[in-house]
Amino acid sequence: MSVTARKSLAVTVGVLIVGVLIGVYVAFLTNGPTPYRVPVASAATASAPGSVDLTLETVGSVGPSLSPNPTWVSYLVRENGVFHRSTVWTLPANTLVHVTLYNFDSKTGLRNPFLAQARGLVGGTFGIDGKPTTVMNPDDASHTFAIPQMGVIVPIEGVSSSAKNTCGFAPCPMSTAHTTTTFTFRTGKAGHYRWQCFVPCAAGFFYGFGGPMQTIGYMDGYINVV
């Protein structure tokens, strides 16, 4: 084989290897563990004409029964009374979505106080353990729920460091320490919308933004509005 042929072969092999590695990396970022795509009828149960209910949970460690990455922080969604590790949800268009979010994770704090102000909500307020408010102390935040394309931002208050009976791994029983956040937003026209947490809560990763923060199925996902 000539020198030119060997060089061409080496370049071709190199390109193929790089392509495979890029494909694996992209698959990791966009899929991670295969997300459970929740049907509309299960993820959102009709509570009134023109509205649906969506129940979520955030946990500091998702646990070995729900993930091959048991120490990763994660969102869960309730379907038929059971919480699943899924962050891809389908919701109806032009509909009020009443969200109840149980948070079992501790306080992390916001690096950007802008995120402490709720935005894009029906009525402009959200509830923390039954108390309506529009803003929280940035240091008390554990996570956020944000849909940038819809202009929705909601800070999620964390569990106090002095709380007793905290949850170690998901699924977390309601008997363990948690906060309850409630809010309502309206879906608009049909589309594919990205949602995510903006709190750098990935312990053990550079600046807290790696791992679960950039993997679908944990701290970010998609809302399919149909």
Model pLDDT for residues 27-64, shown as the tens digit of each residue: 444 444 444 444 454 455 555 557 899 999 999 999 99
- Burial of residue 154 (number of CB atoms within 10 Å: 0-12, 13-18, 19+): buried
Residue 190 domain-assigned?
yes
Q: What is the pLDDT of residue 3?
A: 56
pLDDT-based confidence at residue 17 (cuts at 50, 70, 90): low
Residue 106 domain-assigned?
yes
Higher pLDDT, 47 or 90: 90
Q: Which domain holds residue 134?
A: 31-225
Please tell me the total count of domains within the chain.
1
pLDDT-based confidence at residue 118 (cuts at 50, 70, 90): very high
* Rounded to 5°, angle at Cα 199 from 80 and 191: 55
Residue 46 domain-assigned?
yes
Higher pLDDT, 181 or 86: 181
Specify the CATH number for the domain of residue 35: 2.60.40.420
Residue 124 domain-assigned?
yes
d(CA 146, CA 215): 16
Residue 3 domain-assigned?
no
Average pLDDT over residues 122-143: 95
Residue 21 domain-assigned?
no
Residue 93 domain-assigned?
yes
**Would the pLDDT of 195 be above 80?**
yes
